[in-house]
Amino acid sequence: MHRQQLLGQLKNHAPIDAVERDKLRRIVSFVRTNPRCFDRSLGVGHITGSAWLVNKTGTRVLLTHHRKLKRWLQLGGHADGQADVPAVAMREAREESGLAQIEHVQQEIFDVDVHEIPAHGAEPTHEHFDIRYLLRAVGNDDIQISDESLELAWVSPEQLDGLSVDESVRRMQRKWVVQLG
């Protein structure tokens, strides 16, 4: 996948509200104007790939209590030059969960977001242009915490309501609940 393939996926994504529509517009503009959009070294920001990773039955989602950001988030991370963003989401889900058996529920984009990452050490404040995919764990649910997490937790929609999460996680929760039926 190169920029044109990502732009094609973004063109086919249907945001569920005005906020996500604005995030999509910003991501498309960023990808079109930055040939190095997948490179972490691009100081203003870069593409990241995330996973809304549900269990086999689709009734729980795996969230990480992120070590640096100190917030509950979906699994995900930097493309590091890789233009195949669905593969980035898969790689990050495996690395951050310790789960080996994960599959894409759909190849289409599940959600998009743009969020600011605060300065950390020598890394300046920048933006993550996050492309999110719906994935499912198909093996066991035995997770292993990576160095990037303080904690991992499989949570139901009801349990997620009790966590302090940002609005983009709430948006993915709403989409997920609709899919649960």
Smallest Cα–Cα separation from 48: which of 105, 106, 97, 92?
Answer: 92
**CA dist., res. 26 & res. 66, Å (int):** 25
Residue type, 46: H
pLDDT in the model for residue 23: 98
* Residue 145 pLDDT: 77
Is CATH 3.40.640.10 what the domain over 3-180 is classified as, yes or no?
no
**Would you give per-residue pLDDT tens digits along the chain (181 residues)?**
489 999 999 999 999 999 999 999 999 999 999 999 999 999 899 999 999 999 999 999 999 987 776 789 999 999 999 999 999 999 999 999 999 999 999 989 999 999 998 888 888 899 999 999 999 999 887 887 777 767 889 999 889 888 889 999 999 999 998 877 6
| pLDDT for position 142 | 83
Count the neighbouring beta carbons within 10 Å of the beta carbon of residue 118.
10
Sign of CA dihedral 121, 87, 26, 40: positive
CA distance 52 to 169: 9
pLDDT confidence of residue 181: 61
